[in-house]
């Protein structure tokens, strides 16, 4: 995970790292991708919110 480009991949859960270009939408506790819907964990929710405010 550390070797992935940080601007192209984001961790949203201890079990999930996602490719930014595959995000379809972000809801309060979920990320919808082109092929799946994944939860955002409590420990990463503030980071995801902060990151989405920058884009």
Summarised one tens digit per residue, pLDDT across range 9-50 is 999 999 999 999 999 999 889 999 988 999 999 999 988 888
Residue 36 CA: distances (Å) to CA of 1, 22, 54: 20, 10, 24
How much is the pTM? Answer: 0.79
Residue 55's pLDDT band (boundaries 50, 70, 90)?
low
8 has pLDDT over 80 = yes
51 has pLDDT over 70 = yes
């Amino acid at each position: 995970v550390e070797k992935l480009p940080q601007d192209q991949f984001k961790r949203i859960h201890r079990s999930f790292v996602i490719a930014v270009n595959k995000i379809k939408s972000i809801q309060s506790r979920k990320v919808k991708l082109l092929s799946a819907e994944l939860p955002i964990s409590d420990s990463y929710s503030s980071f995801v919110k902060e990151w989405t405010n920058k884009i």
